[in-house]
Structure 1
Amino acid sequence: MSKGNGTEELLEWYRGNARDLPWRRPGVTGWQILMSEVMLQQTPVSRVAPIWEQWVARWPVPSAMAASSQGEVLRAWGKLGYPRRALRLHECARVLAAEFDDVVPADVDALLTLPGVGAYTARAVACFCYGARVPVVDTNVRRVVARAVHGLADAGNPSTTRDLADVEALLPTDMARAATMSAALMELGAVICTARAADCARCPLPDCAWVDAGKPPSTAAPKKVQKFEGTDRQVRGKLLDVLRAASAAVERARLDIVWSHDPAQRDRALDSLLVDGLIEQTEDGLFALAGEGAQPSPPRNSSTATR
């Protein structure tokens, strides 16, 4: 695949086969796309879609979220994982409401000034909402380019300069077609040219360097499967579950019972939640979600936090 070679086939395939994702529908705003992009980081579409629709109904504009507490946003985040993303969205909403008149900017450089918005998210919003001709590179796109252009089974270690240049070279000059091309490359990697099993029989590309080379196997070391059971992440989630379900700050004992077999790990997880600003400890030793403690105190080390 090279610029112009396979473009029409890929665009036609995308128009006829793209998944009906809610954030792709007409009328979706930059703010709503920004929410979807943050939610989709390290989280499957199937888990994001219902939560995203709830958020759009509850917080259709940034000022609506800015008027809510951090705790309300964390509670609505539910089981999406990596809850610091929720805090970043809340902070972003406050900036958009105060400094951008509730409108997400279209310019990549302006987007990059927003809290929690990195290079990928800024380009994704500019492209998918405003039709900007900018390369949007995620894991799926990197894999498609590695195979179709470079003849490699996988993309290897990321290189921002190289990856952006690779995708830039494939984009049509027309802005509308370029934006669709970005979405099509991403879709192809998500549903056809997957990491686990490339479905080459259904691929719309007329040629692929990897197929032409005989589909050489990956030379990369196998990735370790990240376990969840028994990790600090699991403990953090259990502690947050208690505070999400509570209507007021809770005593330490309510938290201790959810992970009683390893107190040291529980203390470490609780301490990290305090340091990350996801929860608060009040002066009288109670715990609450961020923004919901009556008298929050500064984060403390596990050796000094109230037992």
Structure 2
Amino acid sequence: MIDTAALLIWFDLNERPLPWRNKTTSAWGILISEVMSQQTPVARVAPQWQEWIERWPTPADFAKASKAEVLRAWGKLGYPRRALRLHECAQAIVKRHDGAVPSDVDELLALPGIGAYTARAVACFHFQQNVPVVDTNVRRVCGRAVTGQFLQPQPSAKELGQVAEVTTGPRCSAAFMELGALVCTAKSPKCDICPIRRTCQWQKLGCPQPSEEDLSKAKKRVQKFTGTDRQVRGLLMDVLRAADDPVEKSQLDVVWPDAAQRSRALFSLVEDGLAVQTDAGKFHLPQ
């Protein structure tokens, strides 16, 4: 059994002062933080979150914004479709729940762009419900501490039950996440300062290293960025966000030398609703 008492003492001493951990943060503020933090380091999210919550403190405020405003405010957080889905989510909250973020996990799951993790995170961290919250960090910590696996296991149906058994409430869930972010890291865990080292199954097994096959599979799961369509899409979005008027295709052509890849990335933005092509062949953000 994991020493959760030691974990909570450690968390009290080492919790990062993330702005959304303020006790006055609304359910909407928690929801925004969770969507922004998906596949994005919290150091990049924190200042962006602060700007958003000051500009759009409620779902109703955000629902009134234009798509172009939303995409410009999203900046370089990456995966800008998240911003549009969050916009749809705010509109649904206004329409279905009179502008109040629901507390029920199933009702949260029914909102656009809200998946299993985000729904449980909002229910847990704002509404203080003792529901299992499993992100990459929690999966890695439990994989090592409970089952003795060094590498992060693939998501499975039974992991919710495993996490529910070892977490004792919202603060404990947050502590597991923090441990994974600061100590039980992916490549070089700091086991010498880990508060649950004494009860960690991986430690008890003698810290077995993963096989070459497992390492190879793990490397394949890591998403590359440099040279990918995602990088090109980001460069194209930079031009569109900076423009007050529709831009000529020639203004977009200069951002990337590979014409085929550039064209593929540009029209994927159009297909995703992140860019619009005018009848004159110019491009702009959706309105």
Task: Give the TM-score taking structure 2 as reference length.
Answer: 0.94
Identify the residue that residue 297 of structure 1 maps to in structure 2.
Answer: none
CA distance in structure 1 between the partners assigned to 2:21 and 2:38 by the alignment: 17
* Equivalence map 1:12-27=2 (5 Å): 12-27=9-24
* Equivalence map 1:154-165=2 (5 Å): 154-159=151-156, 161-165=157-161
The answer to whether residue 170 in structure 2 is matched with residue 179 in structure 1 is: yes
Runs of 4+ in 1 over 4 A off after TM superposition: none
* Cα deviations by residue, 1:194-236 (Å, 9 ceiling, x for unpaired): 1111111211113111111110002313314543222211111
Q: Return the letter of the residue paired with 2:174.
A: A
Identical residues among aligned pairs (%): 57
CA drift of 1:193 comes to 0.8
Identify the residue that residue 28 of structure 1 maps to in structure 2.
Answer: 25
Correspondence for 2:268 among 272, 285, 288: 272
Indicate the structure with greater helix content.
2
Residues matched between the structures, number: 281
Correspondence for 2:215 among 213, 221, 227: 221
Larger Rg: 1
CA drift of 1:257 comes to 2.2
Q: Secondary structure at the match of 2:284?
A: strand
Q: Return the letter of the residue paired with 2:280.
A: D
The answer to whether residue 152 in structure 2 is matched with residue 132 in structure 1 is: no
CA distance in structure 2 between the partners assigned to 1:16 and 1:227 by the alignment: 35
Identify the residue that residue 61 of structure 2 maps to in structure 1.
Answer: 64
CA drift of 1:78 comes to 0.6
The answer to whether residue 34 in structure 2 is matched with residue 43 in structure 1 is: no
CA distance in structure 2 between the partners assigned to 1:155 and 1:77 by the alignment: 30
CA distance in structure 2 between the partners assigned to 1:111 and 1:89 by the alignment: 12
Q: Return the letter of the residue paired with 2:94.
A: A
> Which range moved further: 103-112 or 90-99?
90-99
CA distance in structure 2 between the partners assigned to 1:127 and 1:226 by the alignment: 29
Unpaired runs of 5+ residues, structure 1, are 173-177, 292-307
Q: Secondary structure at the match of 1:63?
A: helix
Question: Residues 227 and 152 of structure 1: is their aligned pair in 2 closer, same or farther, counting only changes over 3 Å?
Answer: closer
CA drift of 1:164 comes to 0.3
The answer to whether residue 258 in structure 2 is matched with residue 262 in structure 1 is: yes
Question: Residues 228 and 171 of structure 1: is their aligned pair in 2 closer, same or farther, counting only changes over 3 Å?
Answer: closer
CA drift of 1:155 comes to 3.2
Identify the residue that residue 192 of structure 2 maps to in structure 1.
Answer: 201
Unpaired runs of 5+ residues, structure 2, are none
Q: Return the letter of the residue paired with 1:214.
A: G
CA distance in structure 2 between the partners assigned to 1:258 and 1:39 by the alignment: 26
CA drift of 1:133 comes to 0.7
Identify the residue that residue 230 of structure 2 maps to in structure 1.
Answer: 233
CA distance in structure 1 between the partners assigned to 2:111 and 2:195 by the alignment: 37
Q: Return the letter of the residue paired with 1:182.
A: S
The answer to whether residue 95 in structure 2 is matched with residue 89 in structure 1 is: no
CA distance in structure 1 between the partners assigned to 2:127 and 2:59 by the alignment: 18
CA drift of 1:33 comes to 0.7
CA distance in structure 1 between the partners assigned to 2:176 and 2:262 by the alignment: 43
Q: Return the letter of the residue paired with 2:282.
A: L
Q: Return the letter of the residue paired with 1:49.
A: A
CA distance in structure 2 between the partners assigned to 1:277 and 1:39 by the alignment: 19
Correspondence for 1:121 among 100, 118, 129: 118
CA drift of 1:146 comes to 1.2
CA drift of 1:16 comes to 2.0
Task: Give the TM-score taking structure 1 as reference length.
Answer: 0.88
Q: Secondary structure at the match of 2:276?
A: strand
CA distance in structure 2 between the partners assigned to 1:141 and 1:89 by the alignment: 24
CA distance in structure 1 between the partners assigned to 2:153 and 2:138 by the alignment: 13
The answer to whether residue 93 in structure 2 is matched with residue 99 in structure 1 is: no
* Cα deviations by residue, 1:165-212 (Å, 9 ceiling, x for unpaired): 11011133xxxxx11111111111111111111111211113111111
Identify the residue that residue 166 of structure 2 maps to in structure 1.
Answer: 170
